[in-house]
Amino acid sequence: MFEQKIIFSADQEFINQNIAHPQPIKVNIPKWYKELDHTKEIQTIKGCIPVLDSLTSGYLMRMPQDMAIQHNVTNKEGKQDSFVKWGYEPLGAWTAAKGLNLNFDASETHAPRQVGKCTYLQKNKELPFYKIMNPWVITTPPGYSCLFVPPLNNPDDRFHIVAGIVDTDTYTTHINFPMVINGDKYPTLETTIKVNTPIVQIIPFKRDNWKMEIKPSKVDGRWKMLKLTQRLVHKYKNAFWAKKSWK
């Protein structure tokens, strides 16, 4: 079977540290999902193959360094503010000298005005949006782009990245990830997002042009097939699913 290749490249010294290496996202299936059972008597979400595909499709990118956050706290002037300290041990002082694409004490941000009236503004408590600097360059074959989203159906309840699509066949430099603090759950957040915390799901896809069409449906063989499979515990898996490979 022909396989496309996605390449993650970084400074050799960073690679040698074995920190936050990208992996197939199937290594990050949540414990609650693994513990579920799906039988004819008790049917659960574990029998929903579309959910399984969402958990296993693509690649996982992890936090490359510790991020200690104090978000929406009162500063010395009595105003609400946000503070962050980026850790980069055990990478060492050479990271700054080599110009690695990582955050140091002076974190990169996006100003609140950049999102206009987007709901992210209120969720982030109208404070600057921190950027997670990504040390990896991602390359795909010609004609292939990547969708970057928070881990599907497996979120971190403290934050999420802003989703985006990048043409990674032509854009051959670092892609960084603005993040939104979950102010709906944590009006004030003081936490440390540890190195290796899952942050991004990367799904490569082939670019195509599409045109939509709306038309009336009709009963045909597809509906007969659906009726024949209604009694199967794994009807979608056994009758319709095409298994994917992510290595």
Phi, psi of 30 (to 5 degrees): -65, 150
Q: In this predicted structure, what is the pLDDT of residue 16?
A: 85
94: domain range?
A: 7-209
Q: In this predicted structure, what is the pLDDT of residue 166?
A: 98
111-153: pLDDT as tens digits: 999 999 999 999 999 999 999 999 999 999 999 999 999 999 9
Give mean pLDDT in consecutive 10-residue pieces for the chain, a chain of 247 residues.
86 85 96 88 86 96 94 92 81 59 84 96 96 96 98 97 98 96 97 96 97 82 57 63 80
Residue 196 lies in a domain: yes
Q: In this predicted structure, what is the pLDDT of residue 91?
A: 58
Q: How far is CA 84 from CA 14, 70, 115, 236, in A?
A: 23, 6, 21, 46
Domain total for the chain? 1
Q: In this predicted structure, what is the pLDDT of residue 224?
A: 59
Residue 241 lies in a domain: no
* 99 Rama sector, left if φ>0, alpha if ψ -120 to 50, beta otherwise: left
Residue 186 lies in a domain: yes
**Residue 37 near residue 44, CB atoms below 8 Å:** yes
Q: In this predicted structure, what is the pLDDT of residue 217?
A: 72
Residue 227 lies in a domain: no
Query: Can you tell me whether residue 45 is helix, strand or coil?
Result: helix
Residue 159 lies in a domain: yes
Residue 226 lies in a domain: no
Alpha helices in the chain (DSSP H): 12-16, 31-34, 49-56, 94-98, 119-123, 221-228, 235-239
Residue 27 lies in a domain: yes
Q: In this predicted structure, what is the pLDDT of residue 228?
A: 53
CATH code of the domain covering residue 205:
2.70.40.10
Q: In this predicted structure, what is the pLDDT of residue 88?
A: 67
Residue 230 lies in a domain: no
